[in-house]
């Protein structure tokens, strides 16, 4: 089963979920959005895996920093702010987050929080910038923030589990996410 999951993560799926056309008008669309693109799914779970592997305050602080910056990025995008090369930044964030989880990297907590916030900002910007006119941005934001928190939570639970086989799986999943995004970038 583990090999099947890892193989599925390595498939060259469309990585960039921000086409500008898929956003709906409310809560359900927001809840569905983080599940609709491999870049979102991998980044959200990788934040949780890394946080869970670190444990302690990082287990809740990294996801909280990501979520806060996700909301700020969405607000910045909705206000018409410009963020150049955001899709490249999103792809790089998936690779970095996967690698951080794979290595169970332990930089100082302040640096870890700054990275989580930067990556959250990058992922949040397109949500706000691409929300269609007439949509309910608050309901949409509530949806994507809730779904993101749930994906972080799944990652934290897996990463925090102290059984050696589960920790190996969590780190392997981080590696697979980084590798999958790298493959998508070089083949896309």
5-53 pLDDT, tens digit per residue, is 344 344 444 444 444 444 456 888 888 888 888 898 999 999 999 999 9
For residue 40, is it within any domain?
no
How far, CA to CA in Å, does 62 sit from each of 19, 46, 54, 69? 28, 11, 10, 11
For residue 178, is it within any domain?
yes
For residue 160, is it within any domain?
yes
For residue 62, is it within any domain?
yes
**pTM as predicted:** 0.84
What pLDDT, in 10s, does the model give residues 140-151? 999 999 999 999
Number of domains in the chain: 1
Q: Is residue 158 scored above 60 in pLDDT?
A: yes
For residue 19, is it within any domain?
no
For residue 97, is it within any domain?
yes
What pLDDT, in 10s, does the model give residues 70-127? 999 999 999 999 999 999 999 999 999 999 999 999 999 999 999 999 999 999 999 8
For residue 77, is it within any domain?
yes
Q: Find the domain containing 69 and state its range.
A: 45-130+137-187
Phi-psi region of 24 (alpha: psi -120 to 50; beta: other; left: phi over 0): beta
With a CB cutoff of 8 Å and minimum separation 6, the contacts of 1 are none
Are the CB atoms for 96 and 177 separated by under 8 Å? Answer: no
For residue 56, is it within any domain?
yes
């Amino acid at each position: 089963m583990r090999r099947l999951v890892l193989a599925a993560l390595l498939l060259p799926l469309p990585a960039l979920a921000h086409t500008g056309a898929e956003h709906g008008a409310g809560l359900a669309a927001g809840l569905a959005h983080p599940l609709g693109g491999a870049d979102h799914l991998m980044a959200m779970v990788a934040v949780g895996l890394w946080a869970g592997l670190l444990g302690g305050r990082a287990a809740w602080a990294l996801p909280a920093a990501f979520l806060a910056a996700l909301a700020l990025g969405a607000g910045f995008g909705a206000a018409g702010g410009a963020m150049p090369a955001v899709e490249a930044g999103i792809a790089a964030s998936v690779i970095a987050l996967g690698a951080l989880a794979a290595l169970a990297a332990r930089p100082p907590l302040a640096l870890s929080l700054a990275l989580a916030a930067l990556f959250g900002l990058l992922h949040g910007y397109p949500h706000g910038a691409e929300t269609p006119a007439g949509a309910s941005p608050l309901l949409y934001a509530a949806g994507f923030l809730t779904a993101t928190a749930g994906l972080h939570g799944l990652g934290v639970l897996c990463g925090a589990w102290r059984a050696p086989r589960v920790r190996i799986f969590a780190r392997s999943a981080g590696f697979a996410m980084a590798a999958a995004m790298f493959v998508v970038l070089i083949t896309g």
